[in-house]
Amino acid sequence: MITFFNPTCNGPLGWLCVGITALFGVTVLCTAKRSPVGKENILVWSLLPVLLGLLCVAMLGTGVGLVVFCTSCLVSSMYLSSTVLLPVGDKAVLITGSDTGIGHALAKYLDSLGFVVFAGVLNKDGPGAKELRRACSQRLSLLQLDVTNAKQVKEAFLKVSEKVQNTGLWGVVNNAGILGFPADGELLPVSTYRMCMEVNFFGAVEVSKTFLSLLRKSRGRLVNMSSMAGGIPLPRYAAYGASKAALAMFSGVMRQELSKWGIKVAAIHPSGFRTGIQGTSDMWDKQEKELIENLPEDTRHAYGDEYLLGLKSYLLHMPAYCDANLSPVLNAVLHALLAKRPHGLYTPGKGAYLPLCIFCCFPLWFYDFFISKMMSSQPVPRALRTSEAESKNH
């Protein structure tokens, strides 16, 4: 028979349970009040342990029920502590690569929340910069910032230092990045590897090292935009993935080293978002021409012109498989900037979990098999098609 919970009948343990419930409820309400986002999730996470605990007390008795209830409150409190966001106030954030894509959307988003935004752009007179001037408040400042240009990085530092003065800079978001031309690693010219490393890795390192003195003043945040391709191996992303993997490792080491200064470091690994990073048709034509012209004759013959020319179609169809809604990425960056306890790694995007779980939890041969099946619709090099045809004939 179920005996419903009555604190009077259950003695001191019953009143202890009531006290814990009240304390937890007050904590949740204070948390929800301070947090500018995610109030719905907070209320859900507050009600679940209370209902679970009371049900356990009613069915299992006060002693066992209280243990279960306290455990559920502890788990819920750990989650709630990660949802508490600091007030925006007059916090200043530098974002690189704000011309297009995630950087552009992030500059608008943070500006709308009240941040003082320094938007670094590759072209201060380009359409992206003009749109930021039109759509954002007077708090936003545009900076001419090519992250591969040490002089421009230094000039940007001086301009930001002049504006933030003794308060320091709260956040640096290393977002600037390039994709290059997705192709087999054997086909990519070394210049593509160098270009990806210069922008995606060395550029982020240059900006980080230059602005760390301002982050130290505010005990702020360093956020690096890596990629799912930097965490797991993906075909056709040898150059891009290697540069993002280097950035991810840099983020991990800096997270450990900068913690003594009170600076928190996070890496964002988005997957499957439509950002425009793949570039324009003219850029593809130029990169395709460079790729084909620099191939050794035997390599070009083995792959065949049909395979090589088909690489561009992969780029053309890529946006169709990507999510146009960048909100998960923007929310991840916001959490990394404002959470009292930010995560070291964020993986926004629905497509990230399955391949990431398989890569981490299964043997490598199974992961390789899984990826090969995902890529099975891609064209086959000429030499392999010829050998397959010959084996069938025999």
**Positions marked catalytic:** 240
Buried b (16+ CB within 10 A) or exposed e, 163-197: ebeeebbbbbbbbbbbbbbbbeeebbbeebbebbb
| Residue 230: closest CA among 174, 193, 270, 186 | 270
How far from 321 is each of 89, 94, 269, 275, CA to CA, in Å? 38, 30, 17, 12
Structure tokens at 19: 């006290």
Instruction: Tell me 230's DSSP state.
Output: G
How far from 363 is each of 37, 291, 366, 368, CA to CA, in Å? 39, 34, 5, 9
CA distance 323 to 319: 8
The phi, psi pair for 64, rounded to 5°, reads -65, -40
CA distance 226 to 266: 10
The order of strands in the sheet holding 92-95 is 141-144, 116-121, 92-95, 171-174, 221-225, 264-268, 345-346
CA distance 106 to 85: 17
